[in-house]
């Protein structure tokens, strides 16, 4: 690792920027470091010891780290380097944080530095803990691994550069990269899992091309330091998606629930939330779950029709001959799902699929397919007809939907769809429905006449009424009794 003497050069002005919350965090993290310093959850013989993000941060801030004989300075200084220093120095500080050495208090024997993979996994876990504050810890840890792998292989260009392939000689579309990129990605993840294997220059290439991980690190630091991720922690950067949407499951989620109890897992929910319009990120209500509400098309139809923006998730039935994990996939419907004989919706709709193969270290993760502009076949919803398809669809053509759920509510299909430039979402074209959920992520705002007694324009606009009175205009609506207003 390169010399990081620049970490010791921050002025007192930088250290003085620390807020009372941040100074309090130092004391709290010091206690964390003391509590864990003699723990037996990792020993010198373990290649894959596990440290929490808070433990990593505590050791970095309170004990410091030594690289090429250079210590990183006082606790206040180290924290300010992570939060407020200039970009160049801050990057070096994060690099040092990601490769701390762990020592035991008993014999002070230095263990191997963290592998990059261990650091990324700890960061993702901490970020999700801060983001989904109301969820039990075991749920958070069950599906973080795919998110960590996604962070490591986020940029195909970075992977090919890391493995010595000239970036300008290769197209980085998945279908063009093929086996070359697959081999490069597997080698990169194995290097990332090996302690001390990732050099400073390679780390820098990966860091510069990993915006998703930088966002997660911001969330993790904020959560660990401020306890809630709602502060501006990196100079010039405001946290994106700092607060999770309010999750309402109508009694479906309890303290004893596990991630397998519902399809919208924490990491998947966070990743999907990044794709939604900002107005759809505030409150999510599970309006339908086949596990909770039973398998019923009429119930499903009633819960999704003309209520607002809906997120639909499906888990396919595992085929008897398959050893792969069943895929979870679905669609976001931004406009009201309304029964029509033709296509509706808008370009904010998208399709997604989430496949996990635990035998393949680079497969899986969330893939999102947005509107291509090729056509406006964004959504289709119909039922009770004899001449048209009955069900819910998104993208593609009649009979060849990007995603199709038939009204019999037993099966569906997925074809390639030019509407979203999407491939087949399910593991095979025709799939059985094992479980399906619908989440209302933005209710439709209804006019007064839709929810109660109709009011005139003047009753809802006092300023306009005052102006008309000044102009001596007659108010006809004032002479009509409320019970005679046409409804």
DSSP at 99: T
Half-sphere exposure of 261 (CA within 13 A, CB side): 17
Task: Please check the confidence at residue 318 and state whether its pLDDT lies above 50.
Answer: yes
Task: Please check the confidence at residue 465 and state whether its pLDDT lies above 50.
Answer: yes
Quote the pLDDT of residue 235. Answer: 34
Tens digit of pLDDT for each residue in 350-397? 999 987 665 566 666 788 999 999 999 999 999 999 999 999 999 999
Query: What is the C-alpha to C-alpha distance for residues 364 and 359, in angstroms, rounded to an integer?
Result: 10
Task: Please check the confidence at residue 289 and state whether its pLDDT lies above 70.
Answer: yes
Tens digit of pLDDT for each residue in 129-164? 877 765 555 556 667 888 888 889 888 778 877 776
Question: Which one is predicted more confidently, 426 or 480?
Answer: 426
pLDDT confidence band for 174 (50 / 70 / 90): very low
Query: What is the C-alpha to C-alpha distance for residues 429 and 400, in angstroms, rounded to an integer?
Result: 10
Quote the pLDDT of residue 288. Answer: 93
Task: Please check the confidence at residue 481 and state whether its pLDDT lies above 50.
Answer: yes
Task: Please check the confidence at residue 287 and state whether its pLDDT lies above 50.
Answer: yes
Give the pLDDT mean for 10-37. 67
Kindly report the average pLDDT of the chain as a whole number: 75
Quote the pLDDT of residue 345. Answer: 96
Say what the pTM is: 0.73
Task: Please check the confidence at residue 349 and state whether its pLDDT lies above 80.
Answer: yes
What are φ and ψ of residue 243, in 5° steps? Answer: -115, 135
Give the pLDDT mean for 320-336. 87
Please state whether beta strands 283-289 and 246-248 pair in parallel, antiparallel, or not at all (unpaired): parallel
Measured in whole angstroms, how far is the alpha carbon of residue 174 from the centre of its chain? Answer: 22
- The three-state secondary structure class of 92 is helix
Give the pLDDT mean for 48-60. 78
Share of the chain above pLDDT 90, in %: 28
Query: What is the C-alpha to C-alpha distance for residues 167 and 96, in angstroms, rounded to an integer?
Result: 27
pLDDT confidence band for 433 (50 / 70 / 90): very high
Q: Are 113 and 195 in contact (CB under 8 A)?
A: yes
Task: Please check the confidence at residue 443 and state whether its pLDDT lies above 80.
Answer: yes
Residue with tokens 């069950």: 142
Contacts of 152 by beta carbon, 8 Å cutoff, 6+ apart: 116, 117, 120, 188, 189, 192, 206
Q: Name the strand (E) or helix (H) holding 316.
A: strand 308-316
Quote the pLDDT of residue 46. Answer: 45
Question: Which one is predicted more confidently, 437 or 93?
Answer: 437
Tens digit of pLDDT for each residue in 201-252? 889 899 989 988 988 898 888 888 877 544 444 333 333 334 456 666 655 4
Both tokens of 78, joined, read 């180290």
Query: Angle formed by the axes of helices 145-152 and 266-275, to 10°?
Result: 50
Half-sphere exposure of 298 (CA within 13 A, CB side): 1
Among 100-114, 115-129, 222-236, 412-426, the range with the most confident prediction by mean pLDDT is 412-426
Quote the pLDDT of residue 3. Answer: 32
Give the pLDDT mean for 314-340. 89
């Amino acid at each position: 690792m390169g010399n990081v003497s620049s970490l010791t050069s921050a002025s007192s002005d930088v250290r003085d920027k620390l807020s009372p919350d941040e100074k309090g965090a130092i004391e709290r993290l010091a206690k964390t470091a003391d509590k864990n310093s003699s723990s037996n959850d990792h020993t010198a013989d373990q290649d894959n010891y596990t440290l929490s993000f808070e433990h990593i941060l505590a050791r970095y801030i309170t004990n410091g780290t030594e690289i090429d004989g250079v210590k990183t300075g006082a606790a206040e200084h180290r924290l300010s380097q992570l939060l407020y220093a200039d970009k160049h120095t801050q990057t070096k500080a994060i690099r040092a944080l990601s490769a701390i050495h762990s020592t035991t208090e008993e014999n002070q024997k230095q263990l191997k530095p963290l592998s990059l993979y261990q650091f990324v996994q700890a960061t993702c876990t901490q970020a999700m803990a801060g983001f989904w504050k109301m969820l039990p810890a075991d749920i958070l840890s069950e599906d973080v691994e795919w998110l960590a792998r996604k962070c490591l292989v986020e940029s195909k260009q970075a992977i090919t550069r890391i493995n010595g392939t000239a970036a300008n000689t290769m197209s980085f579309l998945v279908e063009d990269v093929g086996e070359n990129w697959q081999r490069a990605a597997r080698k990169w993840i194995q290097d990332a899992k090996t302690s001390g294997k990732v050099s400073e220059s390679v780390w820098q290439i990966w860091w510069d091309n990993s915006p998703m991980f930088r966002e997660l690190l911001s969330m993790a630091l904020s959560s660990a330091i401020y306890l809630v991720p709602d502060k501006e922690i990196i100079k010039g950067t405001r946290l994106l998606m700092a607060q999770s949407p309010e999750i309402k499951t109508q009694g479906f989620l309890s303290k004893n629930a596990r991630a397998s109890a519902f399809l919208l897992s924490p990491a998947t929910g966070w990743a999907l939330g990044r794709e939604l319009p900002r107005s759809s990120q505030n409150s999510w209500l599970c309006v339908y779950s086949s596990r909770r509400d039973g398998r019923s098309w009429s119930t499903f139809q009633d819960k999704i029709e003309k209520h607002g923006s809906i997120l639909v998730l499906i888990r396919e039935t595992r085929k008897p001959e398959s050893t792969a994990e069943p895929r979870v996939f679905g669609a976001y419907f931004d406009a009201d799902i309304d029964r029509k004989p033709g296509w509706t919706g808008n370009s904010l709709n998208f399709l997604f699929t989430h496949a996990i193969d635990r035998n393949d270290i680079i497969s899986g993760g969330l893939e999102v397919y947005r509107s291509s502009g090729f056509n406006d076949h964004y959504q289709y919803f119909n039922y009770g007809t004899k001449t048209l398809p009955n069900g819910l669809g998104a993208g593609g053509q009649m009979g060849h939907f990007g995603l199709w759920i038939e009204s019999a509510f037993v099966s569906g299909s997925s074809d390639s769809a030019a509407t979203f430039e999407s491939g087949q979402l399910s593991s095979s074209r025709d799939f059985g429905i094992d479980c399906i959920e619908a989440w209302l992520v933005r209710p439709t705002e209804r006019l007064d006449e839709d929810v109660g007694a109709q009011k005139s324009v003047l009753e809802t606009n006092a300023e306009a009424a005052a102006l008309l009175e000044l102009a001596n205009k007659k108010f006809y609506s004032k002479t009509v009794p409320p019970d005679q207003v046409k409804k």
